[in-house]
Structure 1
Amino acid sequence: MSRFERLWSVEDVSAYLGVPVKTLYQWKWRGEGPPVRKLGRHLRYDPAKVRAWVDGLTEAA
């Protein structure tokens, strides 16, 4: 992760992936989806890891 790039919220990832926020929560509960970490009560995503996860999906298809 870039030293100055902020972590993404669930809403940020939802907009980036074009999926509902509810889907991201379901993926986390199932252990699916992009890597996520919990900071207090909030879920946060490393943008580089989200992009890598998307790249891995397209390579596997």
Structure 2
Amino acid sequence: MSIDLAQTRPDDEQLVDIARAAEYLGLKVKTLYEWRRLRKGPVATKVGRLVKYRLGDLRAYVAAQRDAA
């Protein structure tokens, strides 16, 4: 299933994989893995062995960064 994050506004509970999360944030996947190791960045969820991000958490992270600036 492919999600076009630029054109859709799915429910905030929608889970996306780490590649889509990195695309949404304008980062490299490697950066998100490093942030997870350092316990920083947006909240992630493990589904089995897969790392997933809720769109609501990604939006909240971006909003918090804007407010902190």
Root-mean-square deviation (Å): 1.8
1:7 corresponding residue in structure 2: 15
Are 1:44 and 2:52 matched, yes or no? Answer: yes
Divergent runs of 4+, >2 A: none
Counterpart secondary structure, 2:16: coil
Task: Give the alignment's TM-score, normalised by structure 1.
Answer: 0.89
Query: What is the CA-CA distance between 1:20 and the residue it aligns to?
Result: 0.4
Unaligned runs of 5+ in 2: 1-10
What are structure 1's unaligned runs of at least 5 residues? none
Matched position secondary structure for 1:8:
strand
TM-score, with structure 2 as normaliser:
0.79
Q: Which has the higher strand share?
A: 2
